[in-house]
């Protein structure tokens, strides 16, 4: 299986560290975040990965060139940060034709069983999202009977979006998203349709910018996007300064 590591972000929540270092190379347990993710992917059977770069792109690209964990390609977003959906579409040449591929945020540390996640992928799935019942303010919403994605809900602001307008938020199951998901390479054709229908501006060289969740909600009524609930998920978003110490503890506990 192939994978893509989202590593292009500006890391603004990790300032001032990210004033001189890309988020992907912020160390935890003496190793950069991207190495933890890459080794987890490798241990789960992933043989090839794509890494998108933007902030301090040269430094991430140099790390990719020096690592010997697996075969890695660089998807260059130096000209424009494309957000998560645009990043996948921009990496199309590396991922299309592989059947399906795993997406992993570079700033996520967890005990997630990625082999198990791949085993949960249904044949008809456009995407399979690893979710959990954990404290958060931002939830994904699913049909109770099928666990098909139907929307999102921010309990802090009260904002929500439902692809199926006949539903209410309380009709749905709500889970926290892990930033880990498996996509069918059928997404590329649908992404082309999404970009055209929305009239999004496409730069012939840089690509097109859009968030993956907006695309997922648009696509959810066209092809199934399922949630898979991970029990006892130990999950940490290492994107903030106050979580770095927790990340060190997690690293020590897992090693």
Cis peptide leading into 16, omega within 30 of 0?
yes
Q: Is the pLDDT of residue 135 over 90?
A: no
Q: Is the pLDDT of residue 71 over 80?
A: yes
Alpha helices in the chain (DSSP H): 33-43, 57-66, 83-90, 92-95, 114-119, 187-198, 212-219, 244-254
pLDDT band at 241 (very low <50, low <70, confident <90, very high): confident
**Domains in the chain with CATH codes:** 2-254 (3.90.550.10)
Query: What value does the mean pLDDT of the chain take?
Result: 94
pLDDT band at 240 (very low <50, low <70, confident <90, very high): confident
Share of the chain above pLDDT 70, in %: 98
In this predicted structure, what is the pLDDT of residue 250? 78
Task: Specify the pTM.
Answer: 0.94
pLDDT band at 239 (very low <50, low <70, confident <90, very high): confident
Q: Which residues pair with 76 in a beta bridge?
A: 53
Q: Is the pLDDT of residue 253 over 80?
A: no
pLDDT band at 235 (very low <50, low <70, confident <90, very high): confident
Other beta carbons within 10 angstroms of residue 193's beta carbon come to 12
Q: Is the pLDDT of residue 57 over 80?
A: yes
pLDDT band at 207 (very low <50, low <70, confident <90, very high): very high
Q: Is the pLDDT of residue 255 over 70?
A: no
Q: Is the pLDDT of residue 87 over 90?
A: yes
Q: What sign does the CA torsion over 213, 15, 237, 29 have?
A: positive
- For residue 241, give the 3-state DSSP assignment: helix
As a whole number of angstroms, the distance between CA 98 and CA 177 comes to 24
In this predicted structure, what is the pLDDT of residue 142? 97
As a whole number of angstroms, the distance between CA 93 and CA 153 comes to 33
Question: What is the rounded average pLDDT of the residues 134-160?
Answer: 94
Task: Select from 30, 32, 4, 29 the least CA-distant residue to 18.
Answer: 32
């Amino acid at each position: 299986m192939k994978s893509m590591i989202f590593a292009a972000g500006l890391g603004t929540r990790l300032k001032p560290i990210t004033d001189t270092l890309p988020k992907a190379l912020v160390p935890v347990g003496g190793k950069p975040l991207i190495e933890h993710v890459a080794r987890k992917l490798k241990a789960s059977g992933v043989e090839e990965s794509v890494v998108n770069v933007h902030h301090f792109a040269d430094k991430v690209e140099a790390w990719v060139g020096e690592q010997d964990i697996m075969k890695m390609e660089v998807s260059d977003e130096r000209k424009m940060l494309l957000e998560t959906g645009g990043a996948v579409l921009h990496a199309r040449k590396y991922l299309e034709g592989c059947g399906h591929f795993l997406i992993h945020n570079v700033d996520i540390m967890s005990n997630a069983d990625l082999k198990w996640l791949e085993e949960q992928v249904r044949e008809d799935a456009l995407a399979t999202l690893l979710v959990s019942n954990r404290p958060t303010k931002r939830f994904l919403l699913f049909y109770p009977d099928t666990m098909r994605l139907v929307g999102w809900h921010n309990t802090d602001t009260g904002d929500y979006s439902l692809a199926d307008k006949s539903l209410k938020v309380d009709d749905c199951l709500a889970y926290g998203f892990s930033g880990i998901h498996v996509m069918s390479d059928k997404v590329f054709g649908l992404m082309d349709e999404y970009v055209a229908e929305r009239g999004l501006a496409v730069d012939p060289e840089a690509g097109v910018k859009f968030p993956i969740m907006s695309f997922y909600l648009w696509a959810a009524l066209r092809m199934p996007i399922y949630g898979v609930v991970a029990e006892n998920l130990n999950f940490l978003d290492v994107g903030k300064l106050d979580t770095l110490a927790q990340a060190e503890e997690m690293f020590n506990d897992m090693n």
